[in-house]
Structure 1
Amino acid sequence: MLSANIQAGSSTRGYQDYVTRSWSHVLPAGNKRGSLDLIAELAGRHDIVGLQESDPGSLRSGFTNQTHYLAQRGGFAYWSHQPNRRMGGVASSANGLLSKLEPKRVEEHSLPGRVKGRGVLIGTFGDGDDGLTVAVAHLSLGAQSRKSQIDFIAELLGDHPHAVLMGDFNCDPDRPEMQGLYRNTRLQPPADCVPTFPSWRPQRAIDHVLVTPALAIAAMQAVPAAHSDHLALSVELDVPEHAFG
């Protein structure tokens, strides 16, 4: 599996780029297509991919649905996206789910928070309570909003034995607001915290792939997602065959 905040294909190589290249977040200039091709090459080496900050088709992406583009270029037969935040027709952001396996069901949920525009996208593979559930989320910057979002996700995932929650949490896994997730679901804190932000000098572990005990993580590493300001997390996961139906 892969979880990647792709920053809509924009390039950020240092803090100064947030100022000097701020135009790239609202205009289609820059080599976004080249960045997407690099991300597609990375994504294509995985079976299931969760995306954050994938533009669903606005001015800054040249009106390209980036999730669909990555699905085509990466060889994924199935894809879904959840547009969350729109800034007119200039820029937009979405969660995305790419899969080489057919999901039985895909659900979209808006997340609570002081500022609207966050969501969780959930794909279910297999049948019944033993099926694999994969959730992709991008949480808020504020701790109080994150807490309400995490509590909401915990209700959705409940007692699922084969659950994965991946995405950009904007916080370390041991933050107080994360504790409700561990108490009210079978998801566990990561055994190792892998720094993912900023990508040019990773210091903070704010991107995570959390799993239940029935799903063993065999390997996990942070890898560049083209020139995004986040590193992606690549995870080798041991999933029981019956979880796919």
Structure 2
Amino acid sequence: MLALCMALVGPSAPTGALFAGAQSAPAVRDVVPNRVMTWNICNPCEVSDVDRAAEIAAAAPQVIGLQEACVRDVEWIREYLKNLHGLDYHVEYGSVLRKWGRCGGTPWNPGAFGQAILSAAPMRDPVNVEYPDGGSEDRGYMAVTTTVGDRSVRVFNTHLAQRRQETVRADQTRVLAAEVARHDRAILLGDFNAVPDSPELTGIWALATDADPQCHPSPTGTCQPTTDWQSKFDYVFLRGFVPLRHRVHPTPYSDHHPLHTDVDPT
């Protein structure tokens, strides 16, 4: 019976989750109030949500955008952040498909897959938009209004079409840029599956700057890689904010590395 239960839960179940007992909650920690983070957590991957939560807790961002996020995984990550690290986050989901192969569940009720935003402050006015053409897999963006530092800001989180689908990504960024342009203060997080000088990112660069001041949409820019294959695909784009410091933290728990930046509103 236990084996059947684990088979039905599928690959999204965190390591040890079925056997986790009651634990004493640690003292509540403070997040870094002006820190934002993006991370493609990789799915399907045989990774423990305990480890994913520990990676997030090490940076303790006020806001984090996750891509390739299964709802069940995010639920466990939130629990571990609260119960093991004393960090309490609100959550909004931007799921774009239901797929057993990605997120487990049951064949007749597969888990939801897409984006998620965790925020220490409450969020309002959430939207979830699926791109008209996702490419080889459904893709989209989500947006919420929350607080970074002491400023209200519109936060976007997206995952663009996979590599070698440049024309699809170009259409997706046109949809995204039109919405970002409506806001004087915005933070755009995500896995864009494109290096900085890719033509499909031109519209985004026209609206916002990268959290890394040395990274530009030209071959002369010095952009720190964010993936195991030494490409920069992950971004924190800022509109109405100035970057103070940033860090890419290599991790064994995903093929993308967590990227966080501290910001100051202009």
Take 1:220 and 1:139, find their aligned partners in 2: how far apart are those partners? Answer: 23
1:82 partnered with 2:94: yes
Q: Counterpart of 2:118? A: 98
The 3-state SS of whatever aligns with 1:173 is: coil
Q: CA deviation at 1:122?
A: 0.4
Aligned pairs for 1:8-157 within 5 A: 8=43, 10=45, 24=46, 31-42=47-58, 45-56=60-71, 65-74=72-81, 75-87=87-99, 89-92=100-103, 93-113=113-133, 114-125=135-146, 131-141=152-162, 142-157=165-180
**Higher normalized contact order (CA 8 Å, seq sep 6+, divided by chain length):** 1
Take 1:98 and 1:197, find their aligned partners in 2: how far apart are those partners? Answer: 22
- TM-score scaled to structure 1, two decimals? 0.75
Q: What amino acid is the match of 1:112?
A: P
Q: Counterpart of 2:234? A: 207
Q: Counterpart of 1:218? A: 244
Contact 1:154–1:180 (8 Å) recurs in 2:
yes
Q: What amino acid is the match of 1:232?
A: P
User: Who wins on radius of gyration, i.e. which is larger?
Assistant: 2
What is the aligned-residue identity percentage?
A: 22
- TM-score scaled to structure 2, two decimals? 0.69
The 3-state SS of whatever aligns with 1:105 is: strand
Q: Counterpart of 1:13? A: none
Structure-2 change in CA distance of 1:235 and 1:40 (3 Å): closer
Deviations 1:165-224 (A, max 9, x none): 1111101122111112233xx3125533220111xxx52111110111x20110111013
Aligned pair count reads: 202
Take 1:123 and 1:5, find their aligned partners in 2: how far apart are those partners? Answer: 18
1:4 partnered with 2:39: yes
Take 1:204 and 1:90, find their aligned partners in 2: how far apart are those partners? Answer: 27
Take 2:198 and 2:62, find their aligned partners in 1: how far apart are those partners? Answer: 30
Structure 1 residues not aligned, in runs of 5+: 11-23, 25-30, 57-64, 241-245
Contact 1:6–1:225 (8 Å) recurs in 2:
no
Contact 1:81–1:97 (8 Å) recurs in 2:
yes
Structure-2 change in CA distance of 1:203 and 1:225 (3 Å): closer
Take 1:215 and 1:108, find their aligned partners in 2: how far apart are those partners? Answer: 24
RMSD (CA atoms): 2.2
Structure 2 residues not aligned, in runs of 5+: 1-35, 82-86, 104-112, 216-222
Contact 2:68–2:115 (8 Å) recurs in 1:
yes
Q: What amino acid is the match of 2:102?
A: A
Q: What amino acid is the match of 2:75?
A: H
